[in-house]
Amino acid sequence: MRALESCLSIFERHRDFCQLLHERGLIYLLKDVILDLVELKPELPGREAYAKAFVAYSLYGWTEVWFQRGMRESAEEMKQLFGSLR
């Protein structure tokens, strides 16, 4: 959850930049940032690698929709929504 918190907080702080990335169709550039934050590495054991991939790509999808919706929810609200999926 730390990666989630960190990622969402960074995006919220840099809202204008993130919205510009979205408007220009460059949101995919944030994928590697998210993958780094969750520390997804090919040498991880299978279960851990797949779990981290699930979190990373879920967060990437959520982030894209969050940007499309104009980042109406706060980073804290997004964290709570994500956590409620458990």
Residue type, 56: A
pTM: 0.80
- Residue 84 CA, distance from chain mean position: 16
Each residue's pLDDT tens digit in the chain (86 positions)?
A: 577 778 888 899 999 999 999 999 999 998 988 888 888 898 999 999 999 999 889 889 988 999 999 999 999 898 888 878 76
- Expressed as residue numbers, the domain containing 67 is 2-79
Torsion of CA 47, 52, 54, 55, to 10 degrees: 140
As for how many domains the chain has, the answer is: 1
CA distance 61 to 12: 16
Do the domain assignments include residue 84? no
pLDDT score of 7: 83
Do the domain assignments include residue 86? no
Do the domain assignments include residue 85? no
